[in-house]
Structure 1
Amino acid sequence: MLGDPPPAPFDPALLRGAPDLRPMGIDPGRRGWHHVRHGAWVDEAVWRGLTPEQRHAALVHATDLAARRPARNVYALESAAAVWGLPVIGAWPQHVTVLRSRAEQRGSAVVRVHVGQPTEGVLREGLRVTEVARTVVDLARMRSFESGLTAADHALRHAMTTPEALVAAAGDVPPRVWGRPRGLLVAELADGRSMSPGESLSRARMFTLRLPRPTLQVPLEDDEGFVGFGDFGWPGVVGEFDGRRKYAVPAGADAAAAERALWAEKLREDRIRRRWRLARWVWADALEEARLGRILLAQGVRPVARPRWVDLGARDAS
């Protein structure tokens, strides 16, 4: 099974201030430097190579450097997620988020305040951020079910937290606080066998579509032997989210290597189709719930009255 490797954290040493650059004869206002925020710059070529989450982490580091009292900042929500390297679904914000108690609600155009249970956080890359499990639960509560599940799966897959810690963090949210049921749901559904954000998003859609809960990373065998793992499995049906890793095409591969990878995947798909019904989809399909539902319905995976994804005691979790 191939999974997406954890992204490298943003290196705050890449940030430069004007006082650092001008003694070297560099004017950061000219071409070649990307302005992260007031007083902080990154080499333009380096900036182009950063992922969206690394760019947001750069904004968090730059904001912390500009803060008058940075030691009091505990970064939360997407800002903590970016520093941890947790993925989210959708665009990263253009502001950073700090955790404050209700008595300290103050922010700015760049800094947004998230009012929540106080915590000293933990140190990560020189910043104080909410713990991984707390960050996941906060994303589920305040951003979306899809982002919470995607971050939770990633955190479990890379041993950044545990299922027990997720459940405990969700349970620590006081009753009647916004998003608590969604945080509990994400903690229950999180599964480290989900190998990419696209697979996590797909599973979130399956839940809201009320489809039967799939088995993840299903071993597939035919008369010739082991075929591989299917991302999702139902009786008689295999579901596959198509990302680049599916084709094992390394970045920068030449045409011959890409052709071999595509041919190997075609042979694998032919073997699967001879024994199972196969549903395949891409990011655009997963982002549109109804479209993914139609793809799965065409292969016989249809909504049911009680999907039984989770068991939350007496509460109907379907």
Structure 2
Amino acid sequence: MTTQNWQQAKREQRHRMMLTAVAATRTVDPVFSHVSAAVIWGIPVVGPHLDRVHLQTAGRSVARTKNGVVWHHDALEADDVVEMSGMLVTSYERTLVDLARTLPFASAVAAVDHGIRARRSPDGLGVIVIEKERLLEAVAELGRARGVRPARASIGFADARSASPGESISRANIHVLRFPAPDLQVAFPRADGGKDVADFDWPDHGAFGEFDGFGKYFKAEFTGGRPIAEIVAEEKARENRIRKHRPFGARWDWPIAMRPELLRRELLDAGLRPLA
């Protein structure tokens, strides 16, 4: 790993570099867990939680947290550990449960929303499907273990209709701010027979909401090579069509989604009010 590679890498790529370095120092294969397992599985980790590598001791309590490695001492069942990309890692289900137990509410919701949507496995060999009810059962099986209560809260709030981590973080913070719960991924008919889908909809308040990540304007997989000006113009036309159905609207990006006080201001400006 060179300094240049590190500087150019994204946060998940940097964490993978850290995983590789930690694995190389062990005399036996470590079991990666929590946010480290999430990176291997492709589960989004929102927030400053990737600065240390997380390992499981399979119930042993002799290890300590040091040198950038966090050791967890929870007991593991045989099916809680699988091999992925040549590494031992907690299973998809166990990883989601551990994230729900340990991450802040909004970050946990983003992880679980992602986890309960059917998707291709990272190795491309199959489809991963985890039912929300099964995650709640897995939490119940932990009894009074640490983090069970927040895990029940974040898993219970999870919704597979959230289409991105940014939408999940937004929805969680809308809940924390006590604004009315929005409908998700609501389609509005267009005159040409098509549909415009809004991320959030409050029909009783005549309002809609949109989370705008930077990807739709800059990443090739979203832009299709089109110029930014064209994409912005299309988004504006789309918003104008939605406003025929919902006259009040709010748009926000990552910096606002991550800061509840800023998100609150956007929602108030759209005519929404917190519940009593």
* Same fold flag (TM > 0.5): yes
Query: Could you give the per-residue CA deviations for residues 215-270 of structure 1, whole angstroms, max 9, x where no partner exists?
Result: 11100125554341100111121110011344586269699622221111111111
Query: What's the TM-score, normalizing by structure 2?
Result: 0.84
Structure with larger Rg: 1
User: How many percent identity over aligned positions?
Assistant: 35
Give the Cα–Cα distance (whole angstroms) in 2 for the partners of residues 130 and 249 of structure 1. 31
Q: Which residue in the other structure is 1:96 paired with?
A: 53
Offset of residue 97 of structure 1: 1.3
Offset of residue 274 of structure 1: 3.0
Change (3 A) 1:256 1:269: same
Query: Could you give the per-residue CA deviations for residues 128-152 of structure 1, whole angstroms, max 9, x where no partner exists?
Result: 1112222122122212112211111
Give the Cα–Cα distance (whole angstroms) in 2 for the partners of residues 256 and 63 of structure 1. 42
Amino acid at match of 1:62: A
Q: Which residue in the other structure is 1:146 paired with?
A: 106
User: Which of 134-143 and 216-225 deviates more?
Assistant: 216-225
Aligned counterpart in structure 2 of residue 300 of structure 1, from 248, 256, 271:
271
Report if aligned partners of 1:227, 1:271 keep a CA contact under 8 Å in 2. no
Matched, 1:80 2:45: no
Change (3 A) 1:222 1:252: closer
Structure 1 gap segments, 5+ residues each:
1-14, 16-32, 35-43, 306-318
Amino acid at match of 1:303: P
Report if aligned partners of 1:222, 1:275 keep a CA contact under 8 Å in 2. no
Aligned counterpart in structure 2 of residue 52 of structure 1, from 8, 11, 15:
11
Tell me how large the CA RMSD over aligned residues is: 2.5
State how 1:19-38 maps to structure 2 within 5 Å.
33-34=2-3
Q: Count residues with an aligned counterpart.
A: 261
State how 1:226-237 maps to structure 2 within 5 Å.
226-235=194-203, 236-237=206-207
Say which SS state the counterpart of residue 244 (structure 2) adopts: helix
Give the Cα–Cα distance (whole angstroms) in 2 for the partners of residues 268 and 129 of structure 1. 43
Aligned counterpart in structure 2 of residue 114 of structure 1, from 72, 76, 79:
72
State how 1:229-268 maps to structure 2 within 5 Å.
229-235=197-203, 236-247=206-217, 250=220, 257-268=227-238
Say which SS state the counterpart of residue 194 (structure 2) adopts: strand
Query: What's the TM-score, normalizing by structure 1?
Result: 0.74
Change (3 A) 1:245 1:217: farther
Report if aligned partners of 1:209, 1:293 keep a CA contact under 8 Å in 2. yes
Give the Cα–Cα distance (whole angstroms) in 2 for the partners of residues 211 and 136 of structure 1. 27
Amino acid at match of 1:167: L
Change (3 A) 1:62 1:165: farther
Give the Cα–Cα distance (whole angstroms) in 2 for the partners of residues 304 and 188 of structure 1. 20
Q: Which residue in the other structure is 1:170 paired with?
A: 139
Change (3 A) 1:249 1:57: closer
